[in-house]
Structure 1
Amino acid sequence: MPLTLALFCGNAHSDAEDSSKDGVRVEEAHIRFTYFDQKGFGYQSQAGPGPAGSERLQVYEPMFYVRFRQNDKVEHTITVPIDIITSASTDAIDALTTASRHNEAGTIMIDTRVKATDDDTLKFTYGGHGEEWFASVFGGVGYTRDLAQDNATITARIDGSFDWFTPYGPWPRRIVPLTRKFDFRGGLSGSVEVSQVLSPTTLVKAGYGIAWQKGALLTPWNSVPFLCNPDVTECFARLQEQFPGTRLKQTVSGLLAQHIPRTSTTVRLSYRFFADDYDVRAHTLLGEIYQYVTERAYISAHYRAHRQTAVYFWTTNLGLANFDPGAPRTSDSDLAEFWAHEWGAKVLFHITPPGRPRQHDIDVYFNRYTRTNNLSVNVGSIGYGYNF
């Protein structure tokens, strides 16, 4: 089994490419359906019955993916997820939740990969997102240099995005559009990642990322309880959350991947540290194991632990003492202090034996996510892939 396959545990396809053929040709296509079921309560939600409103949410997401080759040096992938009844906080650093609003959304993302030389690759990413209250465009470019006879790589990326959306304000039991027509925000991010093959079965990676946002960084329908009793069971009113005009986020990450040929097993351990200028500090540890049970099937399992502190302006009860109408404030449960735990499992079966052209694959997975501030998420998915 090739090292790259073992370490990254892709879908183990043979691309069945014939370099003698010219012209555009489709090489791979996937379709996936995912069901997302969320339960919980958060103080930002106006969905009742009390100050901590319901975060109940169900999402049905079909997703389509196609990869095609333009020529020997250029290939494109197109990914189109469609979310039905979904929306989420744009500022969370762990899993995203939704409260007080449901809608439909669609995204199209195109990746263009250009093999400039045997050792140099450019990757362009661009696309857009739309839903009834929100729209976004994004784009970026990355450069990868292969070193030491492909035993080491260095990748650098820069990405940008621009969002515009309808501003909303909280009223009892509902949200209403405000007088201005749109709010805006934009962001820039950059990252550097290096990888090194230490042995035929061992790989390590390290990365650093930085992101800067400016504009209306709030989630429009999120609210903050105002003038509540000490137990925060009854409140006089709600105010719309407010954010500073900018945000700077940084991450440092590392990964170790080890393949065990005797048992056809791959183990991956990764860690990520996150910090921003809102005083959030977060640590995430992820363990994964991939096990081939036959030549045509593998199973995988993972566990992830996440710990984060809250933004400095997080509150569940905004009072009159030292109240500043223009100061930042939020009750978003995504930005609170919490522990999160996630586990999941996946089974992939090659309907066609690996190594043959025109392969068919099917996979199914389940994820369970919980956190200490009263939120749980179950995710189930089934996918089918075909290599031409």
Structure 2
Amino acid sequence: MAARTRGRRCILRLAVVLPIFVGMCGTAPGHADNDWKIEELLSRFAYFNQSGFGYQSQAGPGPKGSEDLHVWNPAFYLRARQNEKVEHTMVVPVDIITSASTDAIDVMTSASRTNETITFDITTRYEEPADDTMSFRYGFHLEEWYRSVFAGFGYARELAEDNATIAMNVNGYVDVFRPYGPFGGLQPPGDKRDTRGALNANLEVSQILSRTTLVKAGYGVTWQAGELITPWNSVPVGCNAEVTACLGRTQERFPNRRLRNAFSGLLAQHIPVTHSTLRLHYRFYFDDFDVRAHTMKVELYQYATPRAYIRASYRAHHQNSVYFWTRAIDLVDFDPTAPRTADSDLAEFWAHEVGGKLMIYVDPNASVHRVDVGFTRYWRTNDLIVDVVSLGYARLF
């Protein structure tokens, strides 16, 4: 408990100190062309309210346990220019999470009732010559039970007098985490750790077709290896036909390799007469767990005044389940070495999302200030609803 408390205090100190430090940097004047210069500061607060039920949850009241989740998410973004060729961006989301699904894990200490996380995600871009941009991404993630580091490299090339762009990047991730015990029990004794890693590569091509039309196509592939489970997820065991009463639970089990692929496309059309922009997205995903998923999204941007616009969006998603998904395991046929999961995120479902955002620009004497407020509702056919409210403020220098 003492280690967890120290970890929480460290994360909260970072969350408090960072915006103060960034604000001080933003007010520092530059004295030469090669001095560091803050170009954009952004702070945003979002609140996530999730409700629903899933068979992987141990929170009760039955085998299909509560998935109630509350997340308070302050986030900070900084863009700074080191010189005319080098630019840095830093994104720091801080999550404070209350999750019913994990409450039953630490039945002695109840340590999982709240969980604080913080991520530092930094990208350095280098432009030389004018048509070429190299980027280096690096950072880490801290959580009570989980540590992660990541790094990547990207390259982008402007073509056809800047009317076309080809971009690619490669990223690597390593996670180290503390596993939870099976059957809804306590954490295992000692200092056991599990690990996993991932390699990701992406290719994207965009083309300006006219003064008002842009198209984009992309492909991404991710290879994962190691312990791929979510440690606190479990699978009901020995249940009746309706899966309303069960004898117990066992921890989920995954294959130790996964290959994931995704193709995506975008069409953006601006309508000058109405000061509107329409964006159409499509994504096809498939992997070697036999998942096939289709996602479509429509966004409409509409300027209400020269300094304010409204964004409305709708997204539809359908996927089938992984080949080893189940609501419950029959004791007669139970194979402890076979893959298994009851995770509702890996089941078959339809999902829908509607959202809106209002963005307002304010232009005082020396800089531009921007304020936005948004709301999103997400729901799906396997009993899950998520509402998100966000408020953001940005300053451009």
- TM-score, normalised on structure 2? 0.88
Percent identity, please: 57
For residues 191 and 262 of structure 2, the distance between their equivalents in structure 1, rounded to whole angstroms, comes to: 35
AA matched with 2:312: A
For residues 291 and 19 of structure 1, the distance between their equivalents in structure 2, rounded to whole angstroms, comes to: 40
Report what 1:5 is aligned to.
none
Report what 1:14 is aligned to.
none
Offset of 1:387 from its aligned partner? 1.1
Q: After the TM superposition, which residues 60-79 of structure 1 pair with which residues of structure 2 at under 5 Å, given as runs?
A: 60-79=72-91
Report what 2:236 is aligned to.
225
Q: Deviations over 1:232-282 (max 9, x none)?
A: 000011000000010000000111000001111000001000000000000
AA matched with 1:282: A
Q: What is the RMSD computed on CA atoms of the aligned residues? A: 1.7
Contact 1:167 1:178 in 2 (8 A): no
1:304 aligns with 2:320: no
**1:191 corresponds to which of 196, 202, 214:** 202
Report what 2:7 is aligned to.
none
For residues 199 and 99 of structure 1, the distance between their equivalents in structure 2, rounded to whole angstroms, comes to: 52
AA matched with 1:106: I
Report what 1:9 is aligned to.
none
For residues 266 and 19 of structure 1, the distance between their equivalents in structure 2, rounded to whole angstroms, comes to: 40
Q: Secondary structure at the match of 1:325?
A: coil
Q: After the TM superposition, which residues 221-370 of structure 1 pair with which residues of structure 2 at under 5 Å, given as runs?
A: 221-352=232-363, 357-370=366-379
For residues 150 and 367 of structure 1, the distance between their equivalents in structure 2, rounded to whole angstroms, comes to: 35
1:152 aligns with 2:161: no
Offset of 1:301 from its aligned partner? 0.6
Q: Which has the larger share of helix?
A: 2
Alpha carbons of 1:118 and 1:158: their partners in 2 closer, same or farther (altered >3 Å)? same
1:35 aligns with 2:44: no
Contact 1:166 1:177 in 2 (8 A): no
- TM-score, normalised on structure 1? 0.90
Report what 2:146 is aligned to.
134
Unaligned runs of 5+ in 1: 1-17, 88-96
For residues 46 and 310 of structure 2, the distance between their equivalents in structure 1, rounded to whole angstroms, comes to: 18
**1:103 corresponds to which of 115, 119, 123:** 115
**2:193 corresponds to which of 159, 171, 182:** 182
Offset of 1:181 from its aligned partner? 1.0
Q: Secondary structure at the match of 1:305?
A: strand
**1:207 corresponds to which of 208, 211, 218:** 218
Report what 1:383 is aligned to.
392
Contact 1:292 1:298 in 2 (8 A): yes
Unaligned runs of 5+ in 2: 1-29, 104-111
For residues 269 and 178 of structure 1, the distance between their equivalents in structure 2, rounded to whole angstroms, comes to: 51
Offset of 1:21 from its aligned partner? 2.1
Report what 1:22 is aligned to.
34
